[in-house]
Amino acid sequence: MNFLAFVDIQKTMEGMVSFDFDKLFVPEIFSSCVIILLLIILCIATYIVSKKAMKNPLKTPKGLMFLMCLAVEKCEDFVVSVMGEKNRGFSGYILALMTFTFFAFTWGLTGMASPMTYFGVPFSLALITFILIHAQAVKTNKWRYFHRYVEPFPFFLPINLVTMWAPLLSLSLRMFGNAMAGFCLMSVVYYGCEYLSTMIIQGAEVAGALTSSNLGPAGMLFAPLLTPILHAYFDLFSGAIQTIVFTLLTLIYVYQEQGDEPEATIDAV
């Protein structure tokens, strides 16, 4: 092997193993990892507190233990009201799902990227629900599960295969659409506040009332007056509603595969 051939092979290998970190880094995925890490820390802290509380089980829980007991109790009541007592075991998954979903919707309040504005995150959550739906269907119906794709007539197979993906698309696009709508509207409001503030400050500077040394962030003039109310709606209120709707639909879809009618409907939200 001559020297030029060796150089060509070396350059080829460098191109295969090298990568641009800026292109691979996705802020929304990083935010998701941070949320998961915080939830893991919360679980560890809850476990430590619960071990101490078990030494005196008759003592009224306080602080973190009280909040966790309240969250578990409300989540179990929610699951039982929709799926019945026999499905109380879904409470753990639903509590984790609701916690992550709500934090993902409201994470933009920290100044970091909201995970829900990256389609891969809501799609992943909807995909878990989609798998859970069909897993429950296979568990309940066994081999009869496949009959749904050829009913009422075998030539309905293509249509049934297409409609099978409807829950996955509707759940993921609903969350992604609501998150992106809030993000776009807030971006427009912040841009408008900054533009209006800049015009006013520049006008005052020309008039001699201000100097360039005390301008500060231009957008801070109007943004604190308008954005808190909008953040309360688009991040907190909308995030809570979308979390409830998503988990409620998950419970209803799974419960329907058990052959029973759900005890709660979407209209209840």
Q: Does 45 or 150 have the greater pLDDT score?
A: 45
Average pLDDT, the chain: 78
Instruction: Of 29-33, 116-120, 216-220, give the lowest mean pLDDT range.
Output: 216-220
What pLDDT does 21 receive? Answer: 47
Mean local confidence (pLDDT), 177-191: 85
Task: Identify the top-confidence range among 8-22, 121-135, 176-190, 252-266.
Answer: 121-135
Lowest mean pLDDT among 78-87, 107-116, 254-263: 254-263
What's the pLDDT score for residue 10? Answer: 45
Asked whether 117 and 180 are in contact (CB, 8 A), the reply is yes
Among the ranges 63-67, 120-124, 215-219, which has the highest mean pLDDT value?
120-124
The closest alpha carbon to 39, from 104, 83, 86, 88, belongs to: 104
Average pLDDT over residues 84-104: 89
Residue 23: predicted pLDDT? 57
Between these two residues, 155 and 184, which has the higher pLDDT value? 184
pLDDT at 114: 87
Residue 152 pLDDT > 80:
no
- CB of 90 within 8 A of CB of 83? yes
Percent of the chain whose pLDDT exceeds 70: 78
Least confident range of 116-130, 162-176, 185-199, 220-234: 220-234
* CA separation for the pair 129, 249 (Å, rounded): 9
**Maximum pairwise Cα distance, the chain:** 82
